[in-house]
Amino acid sequence: MGTLSIVATPIGNMEDITLRALRTLKECDVIYAEDTRVIAKLLARYEIKKPLQRLDAVTEMQKAEDILTRLEAGERVVYVSDAGTPGISDPGTRLVAQVRAQLPTATIEAIPGASALTAALSISGIDIAAFTFLGFLPHKKGRQTALKKIAESELPTVLYESPHRIEKLLEELVQHQVSHIVIARELTKIHEELISGTVAEAQAHFAMHPDAVRGEFVVIVVP
């Protein structure tokens, strides 16, 4: 029976990959990736050549069938998402559930590494003994209820947000009377910055620095 390795990849800085992850990528039979073009850049950087297959959110269940066949044949299969840890606001969890259910004797191993969630929390400077992670908020149905719960929460809430929605999210947080937030932008990249203060201060920062609205964001709502 084969092995399925769920491998974390960098969230920006290509050096943020573990020795074990590189060895696993070098030794596997095939790599399934959320986007083969993204992983191809990482593999080129580390001079790794492997057969690549795509497995994204749409094809996850269908490709899981191929992976089951490979595991039955004893292959070593890797899954990587575009960035960070698979399954964290990324595909991967349904694949793992399927393999666990259909092939209980297959080995499923985590090769841990970067995640925007833990990177942002680690430099937030707030008490993170306990926190809530919600990832991306729903765009429509359930959004207002989620925002209300976040505003009332006694724990920090960690959210993922895209550049074209960050200003809308800040406006909504104001409407729900959220006071303090921490925003981690472009973690591990050239334009990395951490904005900590009131929501109004963050809005003023983006108004003064329109370039800062670009990139990737982790938003932590401070209780």
Residue 11 · residue 83 · CB < 8 Å? yes
* β-sheet with 180-185: strand ranges across: 132-135, 157-161, 217-222, 180-185, 193-198
Give the gyration radius of the chain's Cα atoms.
Answer: 19
Q: Residue 162, interface with ligand SAM (CB under 6 A)? A: yes
Minimum CB separation of residue 142 from ligand SAM in Å reads 19
Q: Residue 67, interface with ligand SAM (CB under 6 A)? A: no
φ, ψ of residue 152 in degrees (nearest 5)? -90, -10
Q: Residue 188, interface with ligand SAM (CB under 6 A)? A: yes
Kindly indicate which of the ranges 16-24, 143-151, 168-176, 179-187 contains the residues binding ligand SAM, using the contact rule CB under 6 A: 179-187
Kindly indicate which of the ranges 35-43, 45-53, 121-129, 210-218 contains the residues binding ligand SAM, using the contact rule CB under 6 A: 210-218
The C-alpha angle with vertex 156 and arms to 133 and 87, in degrees rounded to 5, equals 10
Minimum CB separation of residue 216 from ligand SAM in Å reads 4
Crossing angle (nearest 10°) for helices 166-175 and 199-208: 150
Q: Residue 198, interface with ligand SAM (CB under 6 A)? A: no
Indicate the residue whose CB is closest to ligand SAM: 84
Query: SS in 3 state form for 81-128?
Result: CCCECCCCCCCCHHHHHHHHHHCCCCEEEEECCCCHHHHHHHCCCCCC
Minimum CB separation of residue 180 from ligand SAM in Å reads 19
Minimum CB separation of residue 219 from ligand SAM in Å reads 8
Q: Residue 187, interface with ligand SAM (CB under 6 A)? A: yes
Helix/strand number for the chain, H first, E second: 8, 10
Q: Residue 60, interface with ligand SAM (CB under 6 A)? A: no
Which residues here bind ligand SAM, judged by CB under 6 A? 11-12, 81, 83-85, 88-90, 115-117, 160-162, 184, 186-189, 216-218
